[in-house]
Amino acid sequence: MSREPKSKPKTARPTKPLTDVEWAIMGAVWQHQPCTAGTVQEALDTAHGWAYSTVKTTMDRMVAKGLLSTHAVRNLQMFVPLVSRTEAKRAELRRLLSRAFNGALTPMIQFLVEDEGLSAEELKQLRKLLDGAKGKTK
């Protein structure tokens, strides 16, 4: 079933984690929106080799999950994201923080600095970000 597009789709917070397949599809939709399932399949063909039917079925399921919305343009079903890239990243980070770091950001940053072997450039960028955040509160 299709519905008429609104001027701007309302972004929603994902209620469940995006799967790896959903991340790939959302990436293509964010890049090409509004777009057809065929456009997404073509964009992902080299990296994944998924058949059109696989992409279309997954996208229809993503509509049911509230990740995408559709509207008809003549005889084409156009897909638009209902979740912004930023909101998807935020939800993914919150899940990671909750699972791996008991919801605390500082232990995650400490882990990255101490255990992940950040380069000198990455440390410089992190220091710059932290210095810029001084005095800012939510």
More confident residue, 33 or 126: 33
Domain 20-83 has CATH 1.10.10.10: yes
In the chain, where the domains are located: 20-83, 86-133
For 14-54, write each residue's pLDDT tens digit: 667 899 999 999 999 999 999 999 999 999 999 999 999 99
pTM beyond 0.95, yes or no: no
For 51-60, write each residue's pLDDT tens digit: 999 999 999 9
Measured in residues, the chain has a length of 138
- What type of residue is 10? K
Task: Kindly tell me if the per-residue pLDDT of 104 is higher than 70.
Answer: yes
